[in-house]
Amino acid sequence: MPKLLFITAPTPEILFQSGKLEGKVRFPGTDAAVEELTAKGWEIETIQPDWPGPLRKAEEWEPDAVLVSTFKRVPIARDAASMIDRMYEAPVYTVGVTQKDEAFRTMAPDVNVLKNIGELPDPS
């Protein structure tokens, strides 16, 4: 089973609060996200974004991909996404970066920015 390192601070369900989409789930919460990703076929290992923990875990566990949630602990999570992308040889995805966050996109141009975890490619 393909491995996914999920870098996240424990997060509850987050609802989108704007106009017509009010109440729509924006992030299902860490536990629900793990369930959804496991159902897609990923073996999940979860770790907090405190550096250098994610890099050490990646080197030890050797995941096929890395997903970083930036809904909580934003500066640390974004730093973890950009650093792990530069220091580990697996695709890195992030969820929770806003579309207008040019600073992050400049800092981490190779990180795949997803709108939601459902956009994460199925494991192959």
Report the predicted TM-score, pTM, of the whole model to 2 decimal places: 0.84
Neighbours of 34 (CB within 10 A): 19
Per-residue pLDDT of the chain (124 residues; tens, 9 = 90+): 999 999 998 877 766 666 565 666 666 678 888 999 999 999 999 999 999 999 999 999 999 999 999 877 778 888 899 999 999 999 999 988 765 677 777 777 888 988 888 899 989 7
Q: Which pLDDT does position 101 carry in this prediction? A: 72
What pLDDT is attached to residue 17?
Answer: 63
Q: Fold for domain 3-119?
A: Rossmann fold (3.40.50)
